A and B are shown apart, each in its own frame.
Chain A
Amino acid sequence: RKEVEQDPGPFNVPEGATVAFNCTYSNSASQSFFWYRQDCRKEPKLLMSVYSSGNEDGRFTAQLNRASQYISLLIRDSKLSDSATYLCVVNTNAGKSTFGDGTTLTVKP
């Protein structure tokens, strides 16, 4: 079993749709959590950190459930420009980062 698992996707949604991605992690010592976005043939870039209380950045909402060991990303009012692969990243307090395999989102007109 992988340490970090994501919905495999792909997710194909129309513009304006709301879409949610989930990610589960197995290491209970995990300390910090992130969502990264990766465009085709580009490097991953930080989308947002995930805080215990949940956090929002515009159309994006991230949540963490430590008890169930999963994090989620909700995208509201999807735009064409949201089409990308979304990577879940989990860090231990020793500094090791483990990446999920990513979920591909395509937003269609």
Chain B
Amino acid sequence: DVKVTQSSRYLVKRTGEKVFLECVQDMDHENMFWYRQDPGLGLRLIYFSYDVKMKEKGDIPEGYSVSREKKERFSLILESASTNQTSMYLCASRKGLAGDTQYFGPGTRLTVL
């Protein structure tokens, strides 16, 4: 069965802290994605990666960076967390490009105080 896991379900951090969110998929998918989901704004793409060590900016990359050193793992980094980064963060993976299904992890609800 398809599985995407995220390192934490809930996280509370302080303004200015460096935050790491990790995502692991066991489906040998090439593509991985990080989204944030906010009420009234839907899911917005932060970054995606289509191969190891490759990354592309999504719609809202400011304040975030990513790392993909291994095919199964995609990390989202908040270099200096701010209160406006309080959100639900969802990781997803997909085998191919356009026509394949995205599989989502359970999400990490991050609160920045």
Give residues in A with beta carbon < 8 Å to B. 31-32, 34, 42-46, 49, 87, 89, 91-102
Question: Is residue B75 contacting chain A, with contact meaning CB distance below 8 A?
Answer: no
Q: How far is the CB of A49 from chain B (nearest CB, A)?
A: 7
A43-B106 contact given A32-B98, A32-B99, A93-B97, CB 8 Å threshold: yes
| B-chain residues with CB within 8 Å of residue A43 when the two chains form the complex | 90, 104-107
A99-B43 contact given A42-B106, A43-B106, A44-B104, CB 8 Å threshold: yes
Q: A98-B45, A101-B41 are in contact. List 15 more A-B contacts (CB 8 A).
A: A34-B101, A42-B107, A43-B90, A43-B104, A43-B105, A91-B98, A91-B99, A95-B50, A95-B97, A95-B98, A96-B45, A97-B45, A99-B35, A100-B42, A101-B40
Q: How far is the CB of A1 from chain B (nearest CB, A)?
A: 14
Say yes or no: A97 contacts B102, CB within 8 Å.
yes
- Docked Cα-Cα span, A44 to B33, in Å, equals 13
| B-chain residues with CB within 8 Å of residue A98 when the two chains form the complex | 45
| A-chain residues with CB within 8 Å of residue B40 when the two chains form the complex | 101
Q: Select from chain B the residue with minimum beta-carbon distance to A91.
A: B98
Q: How far is the CB of A103 from chain B (nearest CB, A)?
A: 11
- Docked Cα-Cα span, A100 to B42, in Å, equals 7
Can you name 22 A-B residue pairings with CB atoms under 8 Å?
A31-B99, A32-B98, A32-B99, A34-B101, A42-B106, A43-B90, A43-B104, A43-B106, A43-B107, A44-B43, A44-B90, A46-B102, A46-B103, A91-B98, A94-B97, A94-B98, A95-B48, A96-B48, A96-B58, A97-B33, A97-B45, A101-B42
Say yes or no: B42 contacts A102, CB within 8 Å.
yes
Q: Select from chain A the residue with minimum beta-carbon distance to B41.
A: A101
| B-chain residues with CB within 8 Å of residue A89 when the two chains form the complex | 102
Say yes or no: A95 contacts B43, CB within 8 Å.
no
Q: Select from chain A the residue with minimum beta-carbon distance to B35.
A: A99
Q: How far is the CB of A21 from chain B (nearest CB, A)?
A: 15
A31-B98 contact given A95-B50, A96-B45, A97-B45, CB 8 Å threshold: yes
